[in-house]
Chain A
Amino acid sequence: MTRSIQLTSAIAIGAATLASAGAVSAQELNLYTSREPGLVEPLLEAFTEATGIEVNTVFLKDGLAERVEAEGEASPADVLMAVDVGKLADFVEKGLTQPVESEVLNAAVPENLRDPGNQWFALSTRARVVYAAKDLDLDAITYEDLADPKWKGKLCIRSGQHPYNTGLISAYIAHHGAEAAEEWLEGMKANLARKAGGGDRDGAKDILGGICDIAVANSYYVGRMRSGAGGEEQKEWGDAIKVILPTFEGGGTHVNISGAAVAKYAGNKDEAVQLLEYLVSDEAQKIYAEANFEHPVKPGAPVDPMVASFGELTVDSVPLTEIVTYRKEASELVDKVGFDN
């Protein structure tokens, strides 16, 4: 490289550094999240208020792991936050995280909801439940029942490839094996009232619209719809259904988690750990429960009354770490039976 180019790049780099230096002085941390901005913002604001640490965020839906991996040692990421246990497992597999030894986290997060090597910690849980039409004579159902021919033309569900559903199918494989899971998927497909697709809320909307009688969806959407935060219309959808907590035969209800990890090359590790610890505090768990209508991870933390009205949640016994191992197989089964076609 010639001298002049060297000089120019030195000046350019210097200028860019100076330009960004102003923002670095205060205490801060950088959060990469695939959690929707609207959901984490109330929590981050409360954290900044409590600690004075500013949080810079970038919301990345898919490709969060790829971006951190590509950025390598230079990555500004301090905390990685994701919504599906599979994504958290990906972070660990790609070597993007570092273990965190924290009494606070260990005490607050039950062992089955964190990485055995303390690489990630769950922050909230959401149950995969069944919405049923209000006037339907149905009070209990198992996941296995969803394939029962009596539901022919009456079931609504989103794409089988969505992580919420591959998680559920993985749990089914863990309980009954891949062959049984394939049969179950075929049964469910035969029961579909419309193409698998849309979002979880569409399940409730389509029940009100008369398209289906039952729908598979996550628990927290009901809270959001019924609270009226999404407007009058959604309140109607939410009120048109009742929520049933399904179980596996001889097991419990399938839950997935949202969670977070400290990035391997975090420049603000202390602040990062502080954020994680804050998110499992009573205060933050309360925000999770109230603002997101999720089940808190911390044992004994209060559940929102509306969520409590769905009934007592018995979390399925198969550990999340085992469920993760069947993800790929589950996704391939969805293709194999042409669930989404």
Chain B
Amino acid sequence: MIAGLVLLPVLALLWQAAQGSAGLWSHLAANVLPHAISQTVMLLAGVGVLVAVIGTSCAWLVTAYDFPGRRVLEWALLLPLAVPTYIVAYAYLDLLHPLGPVQGAIRAILGYDSPRDFRLPDIRSMAGAIFLLSFVLYPYVYLPTRAMFMTQAANLVEVSRALGTTRGQVFRRVALPLARPAIAVGVSLALMETLNDIGASEFLGVRSLTISIYTTWVTRSDLPGAAQISLAMLLLVVALVSLERWARRRQRYSTNAQRGRSFAPRVLSGRAGIAAFALGSLPVLLGFLIPALYLSIEAWRRFQFAGLSDVLLTEARNTFLLSAIATVAVLVCGVSIAYAARIFPRPGVLAAQRIATLGYAMPGTVLALGILIVVAGLDRQIAKLAENWLGLSTGLILIGSGVALGYAYLARFLAISVGSVEAGFSRIPRSYDQASRTLGHGVSGTLWQVHMPLSRGAMAAAGLLVFVDCMKELSATLLLRPLNFETLATHLYGEAARGTYEDAALAALAIVLVGLLPVILLARVGRGGPGS
């Protein structure tokens, strides 16, 4: 049934796509697709490799080694999650502009007077986009992978150490293969985010497929055409995800000693310790500190110039409440689906599990349109029934009350919770289920007594990711929110659309601050280690 909720907007889009759009594909094939596809593939490949490398190596660094500052780094590495990609892109565009501080300093050092004499290469490029997106999105890999490394049984590592492998070999031969599901989930989440990104790509001049969909819809007013491209893109994503699953179909990742100790990290001191800290800090610096510092300075300047708007507080509250409610709903649904797939691995249930993750693979705007069609249709029916039975005019209850928004977040982010929870469950040996059932626990008792406690870390991670994603979400929020209802993201967008970015700095900073709350919370949960 939950899967059905996700499927509905997709069907609505299919219906839209079927309305036909004359001459679209010949135009696309001739003028758009060759470039858009190559740009998209390049962007995805670049971001995919980079987030996997950064995320996995940082996770290994803070798990396998101990050095001064490690405890700070453990949670600090999560911080870029709190910053939306479009904000980071904007911050860097400004910082690296010829008029910005970086080039200004370089000119001063080299003795040039005017930006006309010396200029760095433009950040508006494919390389710039890959670089920026990777340093913001790597926590999607870092988070689940670290959880995986931490719970990998010490004895596995110790056995391999006893057999004479070096630490590097342990990483390559033992830890890495075991962490593969987590890395795969993380990379695919980061890639979906990349695929969905409109703001950063637009700022940086990357003409991805998503931008083509957008152009077809907005500039040419061709919704059926846009729906057709989205569905084609969706098929592609589904094929890729299935391929990845098929590739690791025979592997099992559970070990028999889940609650074993984490293995003792190796202590690095002196120069090695400093080097390790510096290396681990780099992603935090680039993905969080620099943009956050930039925002703080801009926000401060703006605050002195224009003061604090009282609506900001209301918007922050709206944002927080909406995201919190949606997160709980998404988690409950995610656990239900992942657990159902575990205990009844029948084709129907597994298919439902796949379907539940479709929403994340679609561009947010397009999914929002699908949901709009479904919810508004339902709203009209309710209004009609109320009129006929009660003689009341209800207006649009679902859209007016924000239920439509909650629905959109659910459809959009269910994939995150299903994926993370499933990865958490996959490490729990089947024998535990059997033992629990033999001991007289029912299906739900086993979930409460065994699975939930053992995958607490994975669930906390899923909750965090969903929360910050809800908070940053823009396209659906913009399209489906009730009258007079603003969130931080919509406020920010309103200012950015008007070109008054400076007014938006405060809202952007507020998004980052609200996003920090769950990151800190998670760091506290994660510190004890999942299951401890």
B459 in contact (CB, < 8 A): no
A195 in contact (CB, < 8 A): yes
B394 in contact (CB, < 8 A): yes
A211 in contact (CB, < 8 A): yes
- Asked whether A38 lies within 8 Å of B503 as measured between CB atoms, the reply is yes
Give the chain A neighbours of B215 by CB distance below 8 A: 161, 331, 335
Mark the stretch among A102-110, A196-204, A256-264, A303-311 that contacts chain B.
A196-204
Give the chain B neighbours of A201 by CB distance below 8 A: 499
- Asked whether A71 lies within 8 Å of B396 as measured between CB atoms, the reply is yes
For the complex, give the distance between the alpha carbons of A162 and B211 in Å.
12
Q: Which residue of B lies closest to A35 (CB)?
A: B498
B36 to chain A, nearest CB (A): 9
B301 in contact (CB, < 8 A): yes
B323 in contact (CB, < 8 A): no
B138 to chain A, nearest CB (A): 25
A190 in contact (CB, < 8 A): no
- Asked whether A195 lies within 8 Å of B115 as measured between CB atoms, the reply is no
Which applies to chain A's interface (DSSP): helix, strand, loop or mixed? Answer: helix
Give the chain B neighbours of A176 by CB distance below 8 A: none
- Asked whether A74 lies within 8 Å of B372 as measured between CB atoms, the reply is no
Within A212-234, which residues are at the interface with B (CB < 8 Å)? 221, 224, 230-231, 234
- Asked whether A66 lies within 8 Å of B502 as measured between CB atoms, the reply is no
- Asked whether B484 lies within 8 Å of A62 as measured between CB atoms, the reply is no
Give the chain B neighbours of A66 by CB distance below 8 A: 223, 369, 372, 479
Given contacts A66-B223, A76-B395, contact A197 B203 (CB under 8 A): yes
For the complex, give the distance between the alpha carbons of A37 and B502 in Å.
15
- Asked whether B217 lies within 8 Å of A62 as measured between CB atoms, the reply is yes
- Asked whether B482 lies within 8 Å of A332 as measured between CB atoms, the reply is no
B232 in contact (CB, < 8 A): no
- Asked whether B493 lies within 8 Å of A335 as measured between CB atoms, the reply is no
Q: Which of B27, B98, B125, B494 contacts A37 (CB 8 A)?
A: B494
For the complex, give the distance between the alpha carbons of A118 and B373 in Å.
29
- Asked whether A74 lies within 8 Å of B396 as measured between CB atoms, the reply is yes
For the complex, give the distance between the alpha carbons of A93 and B220 in Å.
13
- Asked whether A57 lies within 8 Å of B479 as measured between CB atoms, the reply is no
Give the chain A neighbours of B93 by CB distance below 8 A: 198
B122 in contact (CB, < 8 A): yes
- Asked whether A13 lies within 8 Å of B390 as measured between CB atoms, the reply is yes
Q: Which residue of B lies closest to A77 (CB)?
A: B483
- Per-residue interface assignment for chain B, residues 490 to 532, with 1 indicating a CB less than 8 Å from any chain A CB and 0 otherwise: 1001110111101100000000000000000000000000000
Give the chain B neighbours of A200 by CB distance below 8 A: 499
Given contacts A58-B484, A340-B205, contact A10 B369 (CB under 8 A): no
Q: Which of A76, A332, A340 contacts B396 (CB 8 A)?
A: A76
- Asked whether A231 lies within 8 Å of B483 as measured between CB atoms, the reply is no
Give the chain A neighbours of B481 by CB distance below 8 A: 58
- Asked whether A16 lies within 8 Å of B124 as measured between CB atoms, the reply is no
Q: Which residue of A lies closest to B495 (CB)?
A: A38
Mark the stretch among B150-158, B332-340, B377-385 that contacts chain A.
B377-385
Given contacts A209-B99, A221-B499, contact A76 B483 (CB under 8 A): yes
- Asked whether A159 lies within 8 Å of B390 as measured between CB atoms, the reply is no
Within A160-200, which residues are at the interface with B (CB < 8 Å)? 161-163, 166, 194-200
Give the chain B neighbours of A67 by CB distance below 8 A: 372, 376, 479-480
A286 to chain B, nearest CB (A): 20
Point out which of A9, A37, A86 has the most chain B C-beta atoms below 10 A from its C-beta.
Answer: A37
Give the chain B neighbours of A224 by CB distance below 8 A: 499-500
Within B84-120, which residues are at the interface with A (CB < 8 Å)? 93, 97-99, 114-116, 119
B207 in contact (CB, < 8 A): yes
For the complex, give the distance between the alpha carbons of A199 and B124 in Å.
13
Within B355-412, which residues are at the interface with A (CB < 8 Å)? 365, 368-369, 372-373, 376-377, 379-380, 382-383, 385-386, 389-390, 392-397, 399-401
- Asked whether B395 lies within 8 Å of A70 as measured between CB atoms, the reply is no
For the complex, give the distance between the alpha carbons of A205 and B400 in Å.
41
For the complex, give the distance between the alpha carbons of A161 and B219 in Å.
7
Give the chain A neighbours of B493 by CB distance below 8 A: 61
Given contacts A198-B203, A210-B114, A230-B500, contact A57 B369 (CB under 8 A): no
- Per-residue interface assignment for chain A, residues 305 to 341, with 1 indicating a CB less than 8 Å from any chain B CB and 0 otherwise: 0000000000000000000000110011001101011
For the complex, give the distance between the alpha carbons of A336 and B33 in Å.
11
For the complex, give the distance between the alpha carbons of A38 and B99 in Å.
27
For the complex, give the distance between the alpha carbons of A180 and B494 in Å.
37
Q: Which of B221, B392, B478, B498 contacts A60 (CB 8 A)?
A: B478
For the complex, give the distance between the alpha carbons of A198 and B27 in Å.
26
Given contacts A60-B478, A72-B380, A336-B31, contact A199 B499 (CB under 8 A): yes
- Per-residue interface assignment for chain A, residues 55 to 90, with 1 indicating a CB less than 8 Å from any chain B CB and 0 otherwise: 011111111001100111111100000000010001
Q: Which of B205, B302, B372, B396 contacts A195 (CB 8 A)?
A: B205
- Asked whether B372 lies within 8 Å of A70 as measured between CB atoms, the reply is yes
B18 in contact (CB, < 8 A): no
Give the chain A neighbours of B393 by CB distance below 8 A: 17
Give the chain B neighbours of A59 by CB distance below 8 A: 478, 490, 494
Give the chain B neighbours of A198 by CB distance below 8 A: 93, 124, 203
Q: Which residue of A lies closest to B498 (CB)?
A: A36
Which applies to chain B's interface (DSSP): helix, strand, loop or mixed? Answer: helix
Give the chain B neighbours of A163 by CB distance below 8 A: 219
- Per-residue interface assignment for chain B, residues 26 to 42, with 1 indicating a CB less than 8 Å from any chain A CB and 0 otherwise: 01001110010000000
Give the chain B neighbours of A9 by CB distance below 8 A: 385
For the complex, give the distance between the alpha carbons of A54 and B479 in Å.
22
A34 to chain B, nearest CB (A): 9
For the complex, give the distance between the alpha carbons of A59 and B484 in Å.
9
A30 to chain B, nearest CB (A): 6
A39 in contact (CB, < 8 A): yes
B140 to chain A, nearest CB (A): 27
A25 in contact (CB, < 8 A): no
Given contacts A36-B498, A335-B32, contact A10 B390 (CB under 8 A): yes
Q: Which residue of A lies closest to B221 (CB)?
A: A90
- Asked whether A331 lies within 8 Å of B219 as measured between CB atoms, the reply is yes
Q: Which residue of B lies closest to A218 (CB)?
A: B499
A22 in contact (CB, < 8 A): no
A8 in contact (CB, < 8 A): no
For the complex, give the distance between the alpha carbons of A93 and B223 in Å.
14
B305 in contact (CB, < 8 A): yes
Give the chain B neighbours of A14 by CB distance below 8 A: 390, 392
B502 to chain A, nearest CB (A): 5
- Per-residue interface assignment for chain B, residues 202 to 222, with 1 indicating a CB less than 8 Å from any chain A CB and 0 otherwise: 111101000000110111111
Given contacts A71-B376, A201-B499, A221-B499, contact A211 B98 (CB under 8 A): yes
Q: Which residue of A lies closest to B485 (CB)?
A: A58
- Asked whether B124 lies within 8 Å of A195 as measured between CB atoms, the reply is yes
A4 in contact (CB, < 8 A): no
A17 to chain B, nearest CB (A): 5
For the complex, give the distance between the alpha carbons of A9 and B382 in Å.
9
For the complex, give the distance between the alpha carbons of A10 and B115 in Å.
69
A20 in contact (CB, < 8 A): yes
A208 in contact (CB, < 8 A): yes
- Asked whether B383 lies within 8 Å of A209 as measured between CB atoms, the reply is no
B33 to chain A, nearest CB (A): 10
Q: Which of A16, A39, A61, A196 contacts B397 (CB 8 A)?
A: A16
- Asked whether B305 lies within 8 Å of A231 as measured between CB atoms, the reply is yes
Q: Which of B115, B202, B396 contacts A197 (CB 8 A)?
A: B202
12 new A-B contacts at CB < 8 Å, known A71-B376, A74-B383, A332-B220: A16-B397, A36-B494, A37-B494, A57-B484, A58-B482, A58-B484, A61-B497, A66-B223, A198-B203, A230-B500, A230-B502, A335-B27
> Which 6 pairs of residues, A with B, have the shortest CB-CB distance?
A70-B376, A209-B98, A36-B498, A210-B115, A210-B116, A195-B205
